[in-house]
Amino acid sequence: MGDPIQESTVVGIGYGTVVGLLLVYFAWENGPHHASHKREIVYLFTVIVTLAVTILTIETNGDVVKPSPSDTQAKNILYLDYTILTYMIMHVFLDSIPSTPSILEGIVASVVKAPPATIRKTKDIEVMVTELHETGRAAFKHMQISNHALAPLYLIIYGVVHSMMASDEGFANFVFYVVAAPCVILFCVVFFKQIFIVMFVNVKKRAIMHEKIKEFAQLSEPEPINFLIHNIDIALMIDDAPWHTVLLFTKEGLSKLTVDSKAILVDALQKRGLRYSRTAAHQIEHLFLSCKGRELTDLKNMTDMGGDYQNLFKLIYSDITDTTTRFKILAHFKTEAFLLKESNGGKDSGLKILSDIDDTLYSSGGKFPAGCDKEYPKHQLYPGVLQVSE
Q: How far apart are CA 288 and CA 295, in angstroms?
A: 10
Q: What is the CA 125 to chain-centroid distance, rounded?
A: 21
- The mean per-residue pLDDT over the stretch 213-233 comes to 91
- Per residue in 64-88, pLDDT tens? 434 444 467 777 777 777 777 777 7
Higher pLDDT, 131 or 109: 131
Q: What pLDDT score does 88 carry? A: 73
- Per residue in 164-182, pLDDT tens? 887 888 888 888 888 888 8
Q: Is the pLDDT of residue 129 over 80?
A: yes
Higher pLDDT, 102 or 151: 151
Q: What pLDDT score does 128 carry? A: 92
- The mean per-residue pLDDT over the stretch 304-317 comes to 82
By C-alpha distance, which of 74, 73, 82, 70 is closest to 11? 82
- Per residue in 340-359, pLDDT tens? 888 877 777 667 777 777 77
Q: What pLDDT score does 66 carry? A: 41
Is 202 in contact with 135 (CB distance < 8 Å)? Answer: yes
Q: What pLDDT score does 7 carry? A: 54
Q: Is the pLDDT of residue 210 over 90?
A: yes
Cα torsion 110, 114, 116, 117: sign: negative
**Torsion on CA atoms 218, 221, 227, 232, rounded to nearest 10:** 0
Q: What pLDDT score does 246 carry? A: 92
The per-residue pLDDT of the chain, averaged, comes to: 79
Q: What pLDDT score does 63 carry? A: 45
Looking at the chain, the whole-number percentage of residues with pLDDT higher than 70 is 81
| pTM (predicted TM-score) | 0.69
Q: What pLDDT score does 70 carry? A: 47
Q: How far apart are CA 132 and CA 205, in angstroms?
A: 7
Q: How far apart are CA 164 and CA 95, in angstroms?
A: 31
> What is 343-374 written as a DSSP string?
HTTT--S-------SBTTTB--TT-TTT----
Q: What pLDDT score does 285 carry? A: 95
Q: pLDDT band at 58, cuts 50/70/90?
A: low
